[in-house]
Amino acid sequence: MQIFSHMRRDSAYKEVLKTLFLLVLIVSYGALTDMLYYLPPLLGVAFVLFCNFMEKGKIHYLFPIVIFLLFFEATKGFLWLSSIIFFLISYYLVVPKVKQVLGCEKCLIPLFVFYAYFGFYLFSNAMGLLLGVGTPSISTLLLYFAIVESFFLVILL
């Protein structure tokens, strides 16, 4: 016998809990990447997730990604808000054109990860030159990070 059959659980609390869990996970991993040099900083993963959340309209999931990007910029020595600006410009200008040309979703994941790393470093260097501010140099570890994150995302998504 169900007395309260017309009542249902509020799913908004589940979304808040998922977002908070994602935020704690991202901040914890960001701290680990500062201590362990060879852990990928997950910039490519953040870009792919950013694009997926924007497409699906799940704006509340972007909050942990923005926090992660702000910590990423602060700890790695990049300009403030440069990664967020890069992600927005890329999502609105580059991603639609690439998706028009290539239709395979699994093929786009490694391409977007490589683009996130190398495109962001080129973007930040260009912004650094325009503003007269020094930016971190491009390392050979970027290739390692992009390959590891591409493999990780192709398996999970």
**What is the tens place of the pLDDT at every residue in 104-122?**
778 889 999 999 999 999 9
Task: Give the pTM.
Answer: 0.82
Q: What's the pLDDT at 8?
A: 57
* Tokens (6 digits) for 56: 């699906």
CA 15 to CA 2: how far, in whole Å?
A: 27
More confident residue, 20 or 82: 82
Residue 5 has pLDDT above 60, yes or no: no
Residue/partner pairs of 49-58 with CB below 8 Å, 24 or more apart: 50/87, 50/91, 51/91, 51/95, 51/112, 52/157, 54/91
Residue 4 has pLDDT above 60, yes or no: no
Q: How far apart are the first and last CA of the chain?
A: 42
- pLDDT band, residue 6 (cuts 50/70/90): low
Of all residues in the chain, the percent with pLDDT exceeding 70 is 92
**What is the tens place of the pLDDT at every residue in 119-137?**
999 999 999 899 888 878 8
Q: What's the pLDDT at 121?
A: 92
DSSP 116: I
Of 15, 19, 64, which is closest to residue 42 (Cα–Cα)?
A: 64
> Given the structure tokens 């390959």, which residue do they identify?
147
Average pLDDT value over all residues in the chain: 84
Q: Which range among 15-29, 59-73, 132-146 shows the weakest confidence by mean pLDDT? A: 15-29
Q: Highest mean pLDDT range out of 4-8, 37-41, 101-105, 125-129?
A: 125-129
- pLDDT band, residue 153 (cuts 50/70/90): confident
More confident residue, 129 or 29: 129
**AA letter at 97:** K
The answer to whether 121 and 142 have CB atoms below 8 angstroms apart is: yes
Q: What angle do CA 157, 121, 96 make, to 5 degrees?
A: 50
CA 46 to CA 86: how far, in whole Å?
A: 12
* Tokens (6 digits) for 79: 């300009």
